Chain A
Amino acid sequence: AQTVTQSQPEMSVQEAETVTLSCTYDTSENNYYLFWYKQPPSRQMILVIRQEAYKQQNATENRFSVNFQKAAKSFSLKISDSQLGDTAMYFCALMDSNYQLIWGAGTKLIIKP
């Protein structure tokens, strides 16, 4: 069975600091996709960044970047220059060839002013 594990239930950092959220996963497939989603208090799910497993280059979207370690099955999210608006739940997700998204339990990130 495929699993996604987020080992940090909650994290907090000061505004402008850099923070890294951890995610590990398990799958027997070679072709899959990984995602980080953000869920602010509004409850809306928002895509932050995605990574194709066949690409070695780490994905980057402005202040957000990932460290994708395929052999270790690790997919961490780094947020640089954190802002108050980054406060949210962050979910790591794996999509397999059956088009199902497998979700981690989430990390609650609090950015302090």
Chain B
Amino acid sequence: NAGVTQTPKFRVLKTGQSMTLLCAQDMNHEYMYWYRQDPGMGLRLIHYSVGEGTTAKGEVPDGYNVSRLKKQNFLLGLESAAPSQTSVYFCASSHRVINTEAFFGQGTRLTVV
């Protein structure tokens, strides 16, 4: 059981380049989330999805887009990377019931130069 898998684990981008981060979960979870983690700021929600074909904005959505075409996958896109998007990105998923544990991927360290 792989849980939540993020690819890639590391990436360096030049300012203005685009990329897509992939999150895949094999637990049949309805909810999926993308967070960014910056020093001293905890995790901040970028976008989330409560089901296939639906997405919603979180706390810091600007500069990012997402898609949930399949229940098991949640993609995070950066159309034109900026140095301010240098961060560690985490994907998480959880079951529909509100009090269940959120399972996290291993994180993606993205550096924009």
Interface residues of A (CB under 8 A from B): 4, 6, 9, 33, 35, 42-45, 47, 50, 52, 91, 93, 95, 97, 99-101, 103-106
Chain B 23-55 interface 0/1 with A at a Cβ cutoff of 8 Å (1 = within): 000000001010100001111110010100000
Chain B residues in 8 Å Cβ range of A42 = 106
User: Bound state CA distance, A106 and B101, in angstroms?
Assistant: 18
Total interface residues in chain B, CB < 8 Å: 23
Given A100-B45, A103-B43, A105-B42; 19 other pairs, CB 8 A cutoff: A4-B42, A9-B40, A33-B98, A33-B99, A35-B102, A43-B88, A43-B106, A44-B104, A44-B106, A45-B92, A52-B99, A91-B42, A95-B98, A99-B31, A99-B48, A100-B58, A101-B92, A103-B44, A106-B40
| Contact indicator B106/A101 (Cβ below 8 Å) | no
Chain A residues in 8 Å Cβ range of B42 = 4, 6, 91, 103-106
**Known A101-B45, A104-B42; contact A43-B107, beta-carbon cutoff 8 A:** yes
B42 to chain A, nearest CB (A): 4
Chain A residues in 8 Å Cβ range of B106 = 42-44
| Contact indicator B40/A105 (Cβ below 8 Å) | yes
